[in-house]
A and B are shown apart, each in its own frame.
Chain A
Amino acid sequence: MTQRQMSDYVLIIMKNLNLLAVLFLAGVMAASIHGHIQAGTSMDFMMTARGFTWAGWKIIVMAAGLYVACLLVMSMQSDSAAGLIIKISVEIILGFLVSYVLGFGYMGVILLILADTMKYFPKSKLKFPVAVVISFIYLFINYEFMSVYFDVIPLSVYLDYFQSDARALMAGLQNALTSLNTFVFLVYMIFLLWAQLDEKERILSLNRQLNEANSELQKANLQLEKYAEEKEQMVATRERNRLAREIHDTLGHALTGIITGTEASIALMDVAPDMAKEQLKVIAEVARQGITDVRRSVKALRPDALEKYDLEKAIYNIVEDMRNVSNIDIDYQCHTSLNGFNNDEEEIIYRIVQESITNAVRHGHATAISIDISRRYGTLIVRIADNGVGCADVKKGFGLHHMEERLNLLQGSLHYSGDRGFTIEARIPIRWGESEEEGERND
């Protein structure tokens, strides 16, 4: 059983003890009133008491009723501090009324309220002031103080009805109940304190565990970083090996053939020029074959779509794909042929379109995107605009930065603006000669 549970049990004991005390005192008062009426000494009672209370049975019902009402309020739950304050105030008022009905002969209920309140303020800053206020109320609710402000009949007047031995017994019981209540309160507070110390201990140990786990995690992180580095190097090595193998397989094969053929041609040149000519034709064929192989190798290193299709088709495909997978309205206009670009350029154009659509969807939450590709003099202009949220202060992320960097390599430039959606414009100079040559060869 934990200390917290123990303190709860002690609180239940305290509640029952208070009920007993309240009923006992109300009973004594009722018995006294009844006795005075029976014995015909009401006038004496009135003269000493200088007042009247309620009929005997009413005192019992009222005291018990107010006490039970107080317990009911205690059983209510509240999350907010204001709710708790209201709850405690109502409890104190009810506890005070119980004391009032009992002629301020018993104020243990206030102690019970204090005990119950401590349960609700385990860590709150309110705990201290609330405890002080309730303690003050507890200190001041006794007959001596209260008789100054309230017209109540002290318990001793009721006790006067009884014979001296019974009176002593009842007064003794009253004191015993009060003391017992205080004692149970102390026990309760000790358990509560234990429970709180235990909890603190537990939190400390949890904290320690957390710290250990944290440092282990850091270690693991470092290892992971190292591992990632190694992995990168491994990939680079593998790629190098693949390139080496590719070069060896394709270029090496072709060049070897060319060297062998050329040497044979040199030997044949003087003896049989026709044969040499034949041989050179074969060499040219081998060289051509080599170039084809090189192209195939390079192709193998390019992005999938571009590998399979030409640029125009590839762009069309990603637009179509995006249309299919989302509800975004994409307007794609291409006013020029995209055939004349080399692989680097194609890749950049393709990447710009792809990245911009992705950004518009991911960051701009756009519902409509327009893609416009046109050629003006020697420049290709790729313009992508969306109706998304845009952004007032554009921070270059990795994507934009990467695009800009790669465009710079091609002597191109990137322009963008975040007002009214997001607009991005890439300008790429067209290198006619090369690109046309390459274009033709590509075809």
Chain B
Amino acid sequence: MKDNGRNKNVNGRRNLIPGIFCVLLCLVVWVLWGGFDRFLGVGSRDTLTIGVFSDSYWNVQNGYAYRIVDDAIKVFEEEHPGVTVEYTSGILKEDYSEWLAEELMAEKAPDVFFVLGDDFSSFVDAGALKDLTPLMEADEDFRKDAFYSSALACGTYDGKQYALPFECAPKLMFVNRTILDNEGIAMPDNDWSWEDFYNICQAVTKDTDGDGLTDQFGEIGYTWKEAFESNGVQLFDQKGTECRLTASGVEESINFIEKLDVLSDGYNVSERDFDLGNVAFQPMSFSEFRAYQPYPLSVKKYSGFQWGCIPMPAGSQGDNISTLDSLLIGMNRKTANEENAWDFIKTMTSDPAIQAEIFDYSEGVSVLRSVTESEQTLQSLIEDSGSEESLNLSILSQVVEKSLVSLRFPGYPEAEERVSQAVSEIIGGDGNISMELIVWNREINRFLGEEKGQ
């Protein structure tokens, strides 16, 4: 007994030193692991870092690079005395995602950062973004219903809100009013259908100068994507595990595209034809529409004709809708500064004054319904465009609300490429469309499966 006890003491003493070193090593690893930061919430509490890019999300150099962000920082810093907001300036949009990924890899990523719509699902998939749902639910000041639900849905993944929308832009149909006026055709209604669309295209496609070549066309850039969207086809599920090429509406959409293609009679209509004023319709993002207005070049570009915007035509099984492109703001999952980060995200997305600046310094649409529908916004848009006729602004809010969320998942570009290939081969071939769709659907699903299993 006594001997055993003494042994234990000897062991105890002998184990003490490795034990202490072991605990110290584990502590070091824990600190590196990130447990320490999360545990104490250390990290610089009085500095909030944000990730922004220097140019416009809508690919327009408008000279207001950091204007809205700077204003938001000012508002935020006034509300949070002692907290400074910092960002790295000079990162271009095209480098931004790579920069963000590098910072995330090196664990230096900012607390709050912009997420480009296309990259959203990749960053969520990589676990870079914090789930904001609990913060939204816990915050009584936060009003979820102030947002357009479609805009909010852009930041949703798997039922969780990983990012909040900052600005968005729906896709609209750009109309050459001069052609319609010349042909004696009235501007289509906001709830026009494919049939109206096709009839106008058919009517305007003709040889105007009598040289025997068709030189005025119905549309450019209206692809299967727009057709699917406005005919109630949801091609992929949100996670990109399933392709629905065999869904109802697909065959009709392909037939419609084929019909439109036949109109141009083999002539490859280019965007230049639209710029020259020879094409009646082109689908375009609302941001593009706005960008061309103040932009000096655009004046020259579209000076030859009158133009306007209306919603996309509706297919028989769908509605006058299109996809919504959006710029999102997310929170770094590893942030040690959650409270301030959340408050800053709120300032950026929910402060009406900041959101209203989107209409002054950016080309998108505010994600807040009240801001987009306000009189002030209307005035500023009219000032920009110079004419009330170009856009029936009262429909803007409605279009945004009805918009579809553009899906982006890892492997989306390849999957989309395959669908394009499928559609063009189906149109080019003369087989049974529904049979071919089944075959293609199986192949794309296999590709998606491989992509997931990777």
Enumerate chain A interface residues (CB-CB to B < 8 A).
Answer: 33, 36-37, 40-43, 45-55, 58, 61-62, 65-66, 68-69, 72-73, 75-79, 94, 97, 151
Pick the 4 closest A-B CB pairs, nearest first: A42-B101, A72-B18, A69-B25, A72-B22
Interface-lining segment among B6-14, B80-88, B286-294: B6-14
Q: Is the CB of B18 within 8 A of A43?
A: no
CB distance from B51 to the nearest CB of A (A): 14
* Chain B contacts for A43, CB-based, 8 A: 97-98, 101, 119, 122
Q: Decide if A79 touches B8 in the complex (CB within 8 Å).
A: yes
The answer to whether A79 touches B32 (Cβ under 8 A) is no
**Shortest CB distance B90–A (Å):** 16
A52 near B105 with CB under 8 A, answer yes
Expressed in whole angstroms, the minimum distance between the Cβ of B92 and any Cβ of chain A is 13
Q: Is B425 an interface residue (CB 8 A)?
A: no
- Mask, B112-156, CB within 8 Å of A = 1, is 000000010011011110000000000000000000000000000
Q: How far is the CB of B27 from chain A (nearest CB, A)?
A: 10
Q: What is the predominant secondary structure among interface residues of chain B facing chain A?
A: helix
Q: How far is the CA of A84 from the CA of B128 in the complex (A)?
A: 40
Q: How far is the CA of A69 from the CA of B20 in the complex (A)?
A: 10
Taking A48-B454, A69-B21 as known contacts, 20 extra A-B pairs with beta carbons closer than 8 A to each other, sorted by chain A number, are: A37-B105, A42-B105, A43-B122, A45-B105, A46-B101, A46-B104, A47-B410, A50-B127, A51-B127, A52-B128, A54-B33, A54-B107, A55-B105, A58-B32, A65-B32, A72-B21, A77-B11, A79-B7, A79-B8, A79-B11
Of the candidates B22, B98, B123, which one forms a contact with A73 in the assembled complex, judged by CB atoms under 8 Å apart? B22
Task: Decide if B28 touches A76 in the complex (CB within 8 Å).
Answer: no
CB-contact partner of B125 in A50, A54, A66, A97, under 8 A: A50
- B19 located at the interface, meaning its Cβ lies under 8 Å from any Cβ of chain A in the complex: yes
Output the least CB separation between A113 and chain B (Å): 14
* A69 contacts B29, C-beta separation under 8 Å: yes
Tell me whether B32 and A78 are in contact (CB under 8 A): no
Say if the beta carbon of B299 comes within 8 Å of chain A.
Answer: no
Q: How far is the CB of A19 from chain B (nearest CB, A)?
A: 14
B120 smallest CB distance to A (angstroms) = 13
Residues of B within 8 A of A40 (CB): 98, 102
Q: In angstroms, how far is the closest chain B Cβ from the Cβ of A289?
A: 70
- B102-A42 in contact (CB<8A): yes
Judge whether B19 and A76 touch: CB under 8 Å. yes
B17's nearest neighbour on chain A, judged by CB, is A72
Smallest CB separation, A39 vs chain B (Å): 10
Question: Total A-B pairs in contact (CB under 8 Å)?
Answer: 102
Task: Answer yes or no: B42 CB below 8 A from chain A CBs.
Answer: no
| Interface residue? B26 (CB, 8 A) | yes
Give bound CA distance, A76 to B13, whole Å: 10
Q: Name the A residues within 8 Å of B29 (CB-CB).
A: 61-62, 65-66, 69, 97
With A47-B122, A47-B410, A72-B25: A77-B14 Cβ-Cβ less than 8 Å: yes
Complex Cα gap A248–B11 (Å): 78
Q: Is B106 an interface residue (CB 8 A)?
A: yes
In the complex, residue of chain B having the shortest beta-carbon distance to the beta carbon of A38: B102
B15 at the interface (CB under 8 A from A): yes
Of the listed residues B21, B126, B127, the one surrounded by the most CB atoms of chain A closer than 10 A to its CB is: B126
B432 at the interface (CB under 8 A from A): no
Verify if B379 is at the interface (C-beta below 8 Å from A): no
Complex Cα spacing A69 to B27, Å: 10
8 A-B pairs with C-beta separation under 8 A: A37-B105, A46-B104, A51-B127, A58-B32, A66-B25, A75-B18, A78-B15, A94-B26
> What does DSSP make chain A's interface, helix, strand, loop or mixed?
helix
Pick the contact of B26: A33, A36, A69 (CB < 8 A).
Answer: A69
Contacts A77-B14, A77-B15, A79-B7: A46 and B105 contacting too (C-beta < 8 A)?
A: yes
Residue of B11, B21, B25, B107 with highest tally of chain A CB at under 10 A: B25
**CB neighbours of B28 from chain A (8 A):** 61, 65
Q: Does B4 contact A (CB under 8 A)?
A: yes
User: How far, in angstroms, from A66 to B34 measured CA to CA in the complex?
Assistant: 15
A151 touches B127 (CB 8 A): yes
Please give, as numbers and ranges, the residues of chain A lying within 8 Å of B128 by CB-CB distance. Answer: 46, 52
Across the two chains, which residue of chain A brings its CB closest to B124?
A50
- Select from chain B the residue with minimum beta-carbon distance to A50: B125
Inter-chain CA distance A64–B454, complex, in Å, is 29
| In the complex, chain A residues whose CB is within 8 Å of the CB of B127 | 50-52, 151
Cα(A41)–Cα(B98), bound, Å: 7
B262 to chain A, nearest CB (A): 39
A421 to chain B, nearest CB (A): 32
Q: Tell me the bound Cα distance from A40 to B94 in angstroms.
A: 12
Contact A42 B104 (CB under 8 A): yes
Contact residues in B for A76 (Cβ distance below 8 Å): 14-15, 18-19
A69 x B22 contact (CB < 8 A): yes
> Which residue of the partner chain A has the closest CB to B333?
A52
Determine how close the nearest CB of chain A comes to the CB of B124; give it in whole angstroms: 10
The distance in angstroms between the C-alpha atoms of A62 and B32, with both chains bound, is: 7
Contacts of A45 in B (CB 8 A): 101, 105
Is A33 in contact with B105, judged by CB distance below 8 angstroms?
Answer: yes
Complex: A51 Cα to B122 Cα, angstroms: 9
CB neighbours (8 Å) of A79 from chain B are 4, 7-8, 11
* Cα distance, A142 to B264, chains bound together (Å): 59
- CB-based contact A73/B126 at 8 Å: no
Contacts of B22 in A (CB 8 A): 69, 72-73
Whole-angstrom CA separation of A45 from B122 in the bound complex: 11
- How many angstroms between the C-alpha atoms of A68 and B26 in the bound complex? 10
Q: Which of B26, B34, B106, B122 lies in contact with A37, CB distance below 8 A?
A: B106
Contacts of A69 in B (CB 8 A): 21-22, 25-26, 29
The residue in chain A whose Cβ has the minimal distance to the Cβ of B96 is: A43
Residues from chain B with a CB closer than 8 A to the CB of A78 are 11, 15
Among residues of B, the one whose C-beta sits closest to the C-beta of A73 is B22
Which residue in B11, B15, B21, B122 is a CB contact (below 8 Å) of A46? B122
Chain B residues, CB < 8 A from A58? 32, 107
Nearest A residue to B8, CB-CB: A79
Please indicate the chain B residues that have their CB under 8 angstroms from the CB of A36 in the complex.
Answer: 102, 105
B25 and A55 contacting across the interface, CB-CB below 8 Å:
no
Instruction: List the A side residues contacting B107 at CB < 8 Å.
Output: 52, 54-55, 58
**CA A45 – CA B410 in complex, angstroms?**
12
Contacts of A66 in B (CB 8 A): 25-26, 29
